[in-house]
Every structure is written in structure tokens, then in C-alpha cells.
Amino acid sequence: MSALRPRIFLLSPANIAGIRASYVLGPNADSELARRLRHEGVPLGELFSFVSSLYFRGKLAYARAFAVPPAEGTGIFVITGTGGLLAPETIVTLDRLREITAGDIHAQNREYLGPLQRDCHHLSKLAGPSCDVVLLGSIATPKYVEPLLEVFGERLLFPEQFAGRGDMSRGGLLLRCVAAGEELIYVPVLNANRHGPRRPKLAPLAPRPAKPLTQ
């Protein structure tokens, strides 16, 4: 794949129903991030990276390392429950976060599909037919694959090594790729085997060299 070929990444959202999300969204949350969320707002990418400190953080770091934005536009978008596609730099407050995550993400929910398909059609026209669209998210279920295939068709790709891995393994894989400066191989979602055999565990990361003691 030519490095000059435009490439946009679509990231599945973080799960805001988990334990880490409660540290920011809970009624008694008083961290610096929680306070910012309730007042001036925080970038969506920063918030989701905290909530999903391995998987989403890995997806965002990888996309920032390897996106090739089209001439007009950005190279990374986050899929949301009812807010369509949003750039990770989008500032969200607590109220806005509740709005864009209110809907269930599944292939029959019109509150989810309407904004997503609207934004995907706009993105498809803006990026042009020569731009690849890479999904960094679940490829084993129809909730992302079906609506995205409907718009992007054979241009919709996914990392081949995602098949057979769970979320945590994918996050670790992506962070390793960023550290090594090595991009994964992408294959078309259309007609692909999106499940595959279970992948072996990732090798442990090499320990960071100790910093020299200062006098």
C-alpha cells in the first residue's frame, strides 16, 4: 500500500459503563478530568483514552501515527452512539457526552444509524474514491461493519491481525506497533473471515531502560 494513498481511521468508542468511566462520570467524581468535563469540556479522544486506557488509547495512538488525511479533512474519526462521527479533538462536556452516548450501538437502531450514515456519506464524498477507510473496532459483529460497508464498500479495511484477538490484545498490539513504527497489514472487510482462530498471546514488552541517577 502506497504511503501516499489517503487513509482515514474510524475508531469504535470507549465503553462508558465501566469502572474507569465512573472515576470521571460518577456523581462524586472530583478528579481534574472530571472537573474539566463538567465545566469547559475535554477532547473526546482524551476522555475515551482515560476510560479505555489500553484499547482506545492504543487505537488513538495508532491512528495518529499512521493516518494519511485526504487533502481536505482529518484522518481520524470516532464512532459514537448517537452523534455520528466526531474528530477526537472535539470538545465535549458532560451533557454533550450523555447526548452522543445515549443510543445503543446496534445495526437496527435508527438513532445510531441515522447520524452515522449521514456523516459517512459526507466523509465518502469529501475523501474521494481513492481514500482507504480503516476500521479500528469490532469486526466480528454487524454493529459497525454493516452500516460502514453500505457506504464505503470495498474501501473499508481492517487490520488483518485483529481477527482472533480480544479488545485488550488489540490494544496491546497497536501500542507495540506505534512504539516500533511498524504499520499493520489491512485487508478488505467485504467477504473477509472476520473471526479467525484465536491468536497467541503477545510477547511481553521489553522493560524500559533505567534512567541514570543524577548527582
pLDDT < 70 regions, the chain: 1-3, 193-215
- Sequence ranges of the domains in the chain: 7-14+54-87+106-188
**Rounded CA separation 209/215 (Å):** 19
Place of cell 482507504: 132
pLDDT at position 194 is: 54
How far is C-alpha 72 from the geometric centre of its chain's CA atoms?
A: 21
Residue type, 80: T
Q: State the cell numbers at 39.
A: 465545566
Q: How far is Cα 89 from Cα 43, in angstroms, rounded to an integer?
A: 5
> How far, CA to CA in Å, does 37 sit from each of 25, 34, 50, 94?
9, 5, 12, 6
The single-letter code of the amino acid at 99 is: E
| Cβ atoms < 10 Å from Cβ of 92 | 22
Give the neighbor-by-neighbor strand order of the sheet with 156-159: 85-86, 76-79, 7-11, 132-136, 156-159, 186-188
Q: Residue 186 and residue 70: Cα distance in Å, rounded?
A: 18
- Using a 10 angstrom Cβ sphere, with 0-12 exposed, 13-18 middle and 19 or more buried, the burial of residue 156 is buried
Give pTM, 2 decimals: 0.88
Q: DSSP states of 140-189 as a string?
A: SSHHHHHHHHHHHGGGEEEEGGGTT--HHHHHHHHHHHHHHT-PPPEEES
Residue type, 109: N
Q: What backbone torsions phi and psi does residue 156 show, to the nearest 5 degrees?
A: -80, 120
